[in-house]
Structure 1
Amino acid sequence: MIRAVVVDIEGTTSPTRSVREDLYGYTRERLPNWLAENSSTAAEPVLAATRELTGRADADPAEVAEILRTWLDSDVKAEPLKTAQGLICAEGFRGGALHGEFFPDVPPALTAWHAAGFALYVYSSGSVRNQQDWFAFARGGSLSELISGYFDLTTAGGKRESSSYTTIAGAIGLPAERILFLSDHPDELDAAVAANWRVVGLARLGEPNPPRPPHRWVDTFADIDPTDRGGMVFEARYRRGS
């Protein structure tokens, strides 16, 4: 029986476009000044980690900004970039320039699952700070009170590695088979299944990741019932061949 539901953000709870255009755009514009102005404080670990990853020990803040911008444009899931993005965007969320954008079926489903007693968690490549702000400053009202915890690359590991899901299950304190994972990415679903999680794929109109067997796929949270045999769905319209 499912006891916890873990959700991805980009392409699953929220449009990919809103993440990449809003968060990425806000970060890209502000990276150079933020690194230069905070090089001895908040930006120091970001500078150090980027220099280490690239082998460019002498890179100044301007050079690091260009490296991070290149990673951002290529959607590289690098920890120093995600850390910088979380810190930079925190100001945007609090100032009203940024909001968490969600598909319309997501808030009512999360609210209903929470009311039914399911523990809800978020696992995204974005930093925990970004995730918390995304839910706390959701357009239409905060959703953060529904969420029991957040996981990212630093706290759990890569999303295509089965060991990351084992780590999350240990942190949640539940057997793997009692956790349901929702994501739009087939490789992430594969990794979760390898760790004995239950999974359902989201294949939303206009999103970039096509569905792939053997997973069940739906296009809305409204088609997911976590109480039904551990995360079975009412219909699987996106199975190949259907």
Structure 2
Amino acid sequence: MTVQFDAGSVDAVVLDIEGTTSATGFVVDVLYPYARERFGALLASRGDEPEVARAVAQVRELAGEPGADAGRVEQILGAWVDADRKATPLKTLQGILWAEGFARGELVSHFYPEVIGVLRGWSADGDGDGGGVRLYVYSSGSVAAQRAWFTYSPEGSLMELVSGFYDTENAGPKQEPDSYRAISAAVGVDPGRTLFLSDRLGELDAARDAGWLTVGVRRAGEPYFAAGVGGHPEAAAFDEISFVSTRSVR
């Protein structure tokens, strides 16, 4: 199904990652185990690092276990991974480990086949003539993980394409409209000229409630495929979304 927008009506596109730009299976089958195997060593050897210590304090607070030692924190993190809980401290610690794994060449991010080319096209059109868009990322994964994801793609760094990164810490939970309002305020783009792409209905609803435009990206084989995208415009891939100029040619 093709979804078209007037090229002059959208200034920013905000991208979800898991299930939208990239396969959930890669995250679950590759990234989750990679971090889980390394939580213990991270907590034991680097627990005094400010970012790690702050995340551990948040784990204890969320779990209601202020006295949890490193071993118990590791157990809690593992349980949250099993439950696919989008807890901010879990995402922070995963992000630290993933970023380091990407930098060492042990990990390379995944994108669906059409995504990188489409993003380059949308960004390349952003030449100041009113036909382009700025690209942002909003994911439950930490900003550190997002940056690593776009730096270490199969086609090299894509960082020049992205104007900003948002997660549950600097924006808020993804199914709350106020999180999208916070992003609008941060990027300085009118909500009605901001387009959000996601595979999850709750996120799409929250973005729409904040005044954003939305497209549900519904890819066969993804966990939320059967749930559909409600009343939101739907596309099976990024190349089904286009920005068409309505200006007459002179």
Closer/same/farther in 2, CA of residues 205 and 228 from structure 1, 3 Å limit: farther
Match of 1:220 among 216, 226, 237: 237
- 1:128 counterpart = 2:137: no
AA at the equivalent of 1:39: G
* Deviation at residue 92 of structure 1 after TM alignment: 0.6
Aligned length: 229
1:16 maps to 24
AA at the equivalent of 1:82: K
- 1:154 counterpart = 2:169: yes
Q: What pairs with 1:24-63 in structure 2 (closer than 5 Å)?
A: 24-41=32-49, 42-63=51-72
Between the aligned residues of both structures, percent identity stands at 46
* TM-score, length of structure 2 as denominator length: 0.89
- 1:104 counterpart = 2:94: no
Partners of 2:193 and 2:54 in 1: how far apart?
37
* TM-score, length of structure 1 as denominator length: 0.92
Partners of 2:165 and 2:47 in 1: how far apart?
27
Partners of 2:244 and 2:42 in 1: how far apart?
46
Partners of 1:190 and 1:175 in 2: how far apart?
18
User: What SS class does the counterpart of residue 31 from structure 2 fall into?
Assistant: helix
Could you report, residue by residue, the CA deviation over 1:80-130 in whole angstroms, capped at 9, with x for unpaired residues? Answer: 101101111121101111111000110011000001111000000000000
Divergent runs of 4+, >3 A: 226-229
Could you report, residue by residue, the CA deviation over 1:34-91 in whole angstroms, capped at 9, with x for unpaired residues? Answer: 1111122242112211111111111100100010111011110111101101111121
8 Å Cα contact 1:2-1:227 kept in structure 2: no
Could you report, residue by residue, the CA deviation over 1:155-196 in whole angstroms, capped at 9, with x for unpaired residues? Answer: 100000000000001111011000000000011000000001
8 Å Cα contact 1:163-1:195 kept in structure 2: yes
AA at the equivalent of 2:240: D
8 Å Cα contact 2:199-2:229 kept in structure 1: no
Match of 1:188 among 163, 188, 203: 203
Larger relative CO (CA 8 A, sep 6+): 1 or 2? 2
Partners of 2:52 and 2:233 in 1: how far apart?
42
Give unpaired runs (5+ residues) of structure 1: 230-242
